[in-house]
Amino acid sequence: MSTLTFNTTIQKQAQLLAEEARRTDPNIIKFYWFPADNEVRLVEVATDMQPSLIDNIQPFYFPASPEHNLPAPSGVALIRDGEDGRLGLPRGWGTWEEAELLNTEESR
DSSP 8-state secondary structure symbol assigned to residue 77: E
For residue 30, list its beta bridge partners: 45
Q: How confident is the model at residue 7 (pLDDT cuts 50, 70, 90)?
A: confident
Decide if pLDDT at 102 tops 60: yes
Could you tell me the strand order of the sheet in which 28-33 lies? 60-62, 74-80, 40-46, 28-33, 100-102
Tell me the pairing of strands 74-80 and 40-46: parallel
The pLDDT assigned to 2 comes to 37
Residue range 3-107 forms a domain whose CATH class is alpha beta
Name the residue ranges covered by the structural domains of the chain. Answer: 3-107
Element (H, E) at 11: helix 3-24
pTM beyond cutoff 0.85: yes
Distances in Å between the Cα of 84 and the Cα atoms of 9, 18, 31 are: 25, 16, 10
Q: Per-residue pLDDT averaged across 3-13, rounded?
A: 75
